[in-house]
Amino acid sequence: EIASCLVGSEMCIRDRAYYLAGLGHEVIGVDNYFSGNPEDLPEETDRAHFLLADATNLPFGYDSFDAVVSVSMLHETNGSLAIGEMRKVLKPDGLIVIADSVKLNPLGALSTGIRRAWVGRGKTPNPADTIKPDLGWVKSREAVTSGLPGCIWRKVGSGRFIATWQRDNNLG
């Protein structure tokens, strides 16, 4: 059994959480906004659990998870803070997997989690805080590798990448 934390947008984490739970893993799916109403979170199972939380301030202690998976989330938040939180909750020898995009559609960003979370709190999003420019391959890679030194980073299709990083048992 592997305790996993999935961080990402609603649709991305729900289906993956159910899949991993079906394989026998304990999974917690985290999103900063499902519909703005905790009652609208996906249905839990005995091994798949869901909660509203901010990826830049995860509500878990140090060394909580064997694996942390980020799905289509970094381009919607402060990537440096989110990566720091992923490292914090990862157990020694644990694995971080990030699947994301190097391009950000500003209209898409405004219709996704960050905008909904701000609007749900009665605030208007500041585009400078929520929309990042198209980083491209080089800058996207630099953003991830600076927070996860030694990670394996690959292009996987049009505008997408995947990065994996294993926490050293001694270095954290």
Per-residue pLDDT of the chain (172 residues; tens, 9 = 90+): 577 887 776 667 888 889 999 999 999 988 876 556 667 778 899 999 988 888 888 999 999 999 999 988 887 778 888 899 999 999 999 999 998 887 654 434 433 444 444 444 444 444 444 435 456 778 788 888 999 999 999 988 777 889 999 998 765 5
Tokens of 7: 């961080």
Burial grade of 38 (CB within 10 A; 0-12, 13-18, 19 or more): exposed
Phi-psi region of 120 (alpha: psi -120 to 50; beta: other; left: phi over 0): alpha
Q: Which residues contact 127 (CB under 8 A, 6 or more apart)?
A: 106, 110
Residues in the chain, total: 172
pTM above 0.85, yes or no: no
